[in-house]
Chain A
């Protein structure tokens, strides 16, 4: 029995789970276990309430276009809970479709527009939008490396998306593109950081390939729940996996 426990909400884990998103939970659990922390992951899906006080971490993964449309409809009912969670500095990892749906809207490849919940200020056009000047009409696919300018940390991943995301007010990029395409192929930004929300297009999955980021986010979640423990010191002793 671990001394400490984090409760994790896997948002639409039964519908938004392509590209190995679940691996992010595996990685968090791997590091948490080594410092005596248990991770309890719970599915929050269609028609479920999202209680902003019930969770210490939220994972919102990517999905296929069809499932994403169904999720977008349901997500409106969770908007207030998620907004409260995010504004209260709740840690959240949003990948691909999850990242897009936290913003204002996203456009599918066929031009249809899906409303996000706008709890963050970014928006996503499709690859044929007139504003797209680079790699217009093609998916952004391939290996990618980015660097976070504040921490100096480098993150590796694989990107594969047609949507082009543009960050908005109060949002910083997760990193600057070193090689690859990033959010939109044009402004060198990849992903987002807003309060304790980390958004990204990275497959890999991001926490498995970037132990430095997994440990950073894990520390954030633990410090928020158990502020009296020196989590940095504990995590420093745990080697970070990277590949």
Chain B
């Protein structure tokens, strides 16, 4: 953010008005990205003293809240438990996630330590946290987790969201949803959103500083029904 750049005083900086997570502005738009880079590189030739310049150019196209909706009907569920609902939802999204993985030739799922085909294990592990007796014991299963508990919970959540993002990326339609539109969908009635709320409740109930910290890493600010992380 500009306020932080002004506080630190970098030698040459280009301030861009794009959303967090998108510093080059627009995905799969090489010319847009290179235009941003050219403006930054231009400071090498033009700046004669420490400078924070403003990006000049178009804003990227993205679908905000109300401009994008997931076309899939993810209910109803035969097994109405949290785990049952999440696994059913994941099951319905698998064909779409597979489409994206095939088109991209890759996946970024698996930071938790899971293999690309272990989404069920990750979803089951995430849902199990909601009713877990302990938040320091790793979930049971066949995955060699890359993190200790409770930090693992943050990356279980991230891996499941990565899978969901892959699933919606394959669907035909308009511009890709932005952060707010995605959160409106996830926390607007999906089993994943309900699972994350329940996991956050469990972390809150632990009344432990590390658990509270991880709670703030599981649900984006403004989306937890139990209040702010800050």
**Genuine A/B complex:** no
- Residues on B close to A: CB < 8 A? none
